[in-house]
Structure 1
Amino acid sequence: MRKIKVLFVCMGNICRSPTAEGVFNTFILNRNLADVFEVDSAGTHAYHVGDAPDLRAQKAARERGIELKHIRARKVNTADFEVFDHILAMDEENCAILFESCPDEYRHKIRLFLDYAPHLRQSEVPDPYYGGAYGFERVLDLVEAASEGFIETLQREGVLTS
């Protein structure tokens, strides 16, 4: 069985996208779907390549039973557009950067992650980097809702049968 490959993207890959990666991995593990997916995260910029997620992101995630310390920041590369089935950006700016660098034949793979949580009436996962602890909690809430919506969409579309 071919795995569904999902890439979460933010700017530096130390706050939002590794949080989304961790949340989604925990989400699919708890639903016995881990063997169906391949999940990764990356940034549109190379500011933090090789770094672990922000300690505040790790702490907030750990308090919800999600471990992020094993994740290391990396920059999106050209091969990602071909390899991944779904490239989910955390905000409009990073979505636009992805579209600019993506070959035309793969642009259909790029979406805002919060498109999968329309009930939130919010299109972007805000960057918590310069804010307080609440920002990291809010990111977790948003990516949890979008993860659920993403799985429901895949099931509705018949891509995921579990």
Structure 2
Amino acid sequence: MIKVLFVCLGNICRSPMAEAMFRDTVKREGLEHKIIVDSAGTGDWHIGNPPHKGTQDILLKNNISFDGLKARQIVSTDLVEFDYIIAMDTENKKNIEKLKEANPKAEVLRLLDLLPHIVTKDVPDPYFTGNFQEVFDLLEQGCKQLLEITKERI
């Protein structure tokens, strides 16, 4: 079983969008019994809340379910339990690295590091920019590449 955790700041925009998209792709590939997907935030402001309305809208527009998604905060044990922790931006990655304790298992990387043709390596936060379509497009590309990498480890 490969475990993937997407992480952003509040876990209501980017990371739950990526979780829903990746989960949908994994299901379409018939790999839901081999890959576990989750998301979390580095902050605690939105714990227990559903995804942001903008995230919900773009997922609904693309027929992607977000049922059951609720914001949570990343904890140090996530670095032991997950194989991949995928940060949405540089600041998120730094905050994740601060949680490392002895023998972390997870590989921590920014999603857009998987896309060498993309100049910017930080997924913009639509909570501030309002551009949920841009984020969806970037996540779609990143998730496709992440799936290819993940399939190699199954």
Separation (CA, whole Å) in 1 of partners of 2:65 and 2:120:
26
| 1:26–1:108 distance in 2 versus 1, CA, 3 Å | closer
Alpha-carbon separation, structure 1, partners of 2:74 and 2:97: 12
Q: Runs of 5+ in structure 2 lacking a partner?
A: none
User: Paired residue for 1:29?
Assistant: 27
Residue 32 of structure 1 aligns to which amino acid in structure 2?
G
Among 48, 51, 70, the alignment partner of 1:50 is 48
Q: Where does residue 85 of structure 2 map in the other structure?
A: 87
Identical columns (%): 36
Secondary structure of the corresponding residue to residue 124 of structure 2: coil
Per-residue CA deviation, residues 111-161 of structure 1 (Å, 9 max, x unaligned), is: 1111222222331111000223xx111111111101111122234xx313x
Find the aligned partners of 1:56 and 1:69 in 2 and give their Cα distance.
15
Q: Which has the higher helix share?
A: 1
**Range with bigger deviation, 48-57 or 29-38:** 29-38
| Residues 4 and 38 in structure 2, CA contact (< 8 A), matched pair in contact too | yes
Aligned-partner Cα distance in 2 for 1:74–1:55:
17
With the length of structure 2 as denominator, give the TM-score of the two structures.
Answer: 0.94
TM-score where L is the length of structure 1: 0.89
Classify the secondary structure of the residue corresponding to 2:70.
coil
Aligned: 1:96 with 2:94? yes
**What's the offset of the Cα at 1:69?**
4.2
1:96-115 alignment to 2 at 5 Å? 96-103=94-101, 105-106=103-104, 109-115=107-113
User: Is 1:154 matched up with 2:124?
Assistant: no
Distance 1:67 1:154 in 2: 21
Any runs of at least 4 consecutive aligned residues in structure 1 with deviations exceeding 6 A, and if so which?
Answer: none
Q: Is the 8 A contact 1:9 1:17 kept in 2?
A: yes
C-alpha deviation, 1:68, in angstroms: 1.8
- Give RMSD over aligned pairs: 1.4
Aligned to 1:75: 73
Equivalent residue, structure 2, for 1:144? 140
After TM superposition, list the pairs within 5 Å mapping 1:128-143 onto structure 2. 128-132=126-130, 135-143=131-139
